Amino acid sequence: MFVNLLKSKIHRVRVTQAELNYVGSITIDEDLMDAAGLMENEQVHVVNNNNGERLITYVIKGARGSGIICLNGAAARRAQVGDIIIIISYGMMTTEEARTHKPQVIFPDENNRLVR
């Protein structure tokens, strides 16, 4: 049997851009991606703390160290620059793997930079 568990989470980052005229996705600073264990093209759920919107999209690498969090395409209608969001990914694993799994959760600062 497989279960779907929290794999990684970027908790409370600020939207820096919203680009409606784009194919789709969310652009995330590569430093944040690495810290959270996210891969380019990985499916993520995005939760907007400001308006309650939830969406599913995929990750695009943003410039390392830029702090960029940009909702692209139709997702741009779900947030405004300055909104606080949570980015979540899940992973399928066996129940045996799930017993010892520890998700990668990061808490960036108000400028979307890693807190060391």
Any idea what the CATH number is for the domain that residue 11 is in?
2.40.40.20
In a domain, 91, yes or no: yes
Q: Which residues contact 47 (CB under 8 A, 6 or more apart)?
A: 53, 54, 85, 86, 88
Kindly report, residue by residue over 41-93, the tens digit of the pLDDT. 999 999 999 999 999 999 999 999 999 999 999 999 999 999 999 999 999 99
Residue 93 token pair: 């694993």
Q: Residue 23 — pLDDT band, cuts 50, 70, 90?
A: confident
In a domain, 12, yes or no: yes
pLDDT at 15 > cutoff 90: yes
Is 66 part of the annotated catalytic residue set? Answer: no
Closest-CA residue to 70 (of 6, 105, 9, 23) = 23
Closest-CA residue to 101 (of 15, 31, 6) = 6
Identified catalytic residue from 58, 66, 89, 90: 58
In a domain, 79, yes or no: yes
Domain boundaries, position 69: 2-106
Could you give the number of structural domains in the chain? Answer: 1
Identified catalytic residue from 25, 66, 89, 90: 25
Alpha helices by DSSP H, listed for the chain, are: 30-36, 95-100
Closest-CA residue to 9 (of 105, 98, 114, 102) = 105
Cα–Cα dist 24/9, whole Å? 20
Is 58 part of the annotated catalytic residue set? Answer: yes
In a domain, 100, yes or no: yes
pTM of the model: 0.95
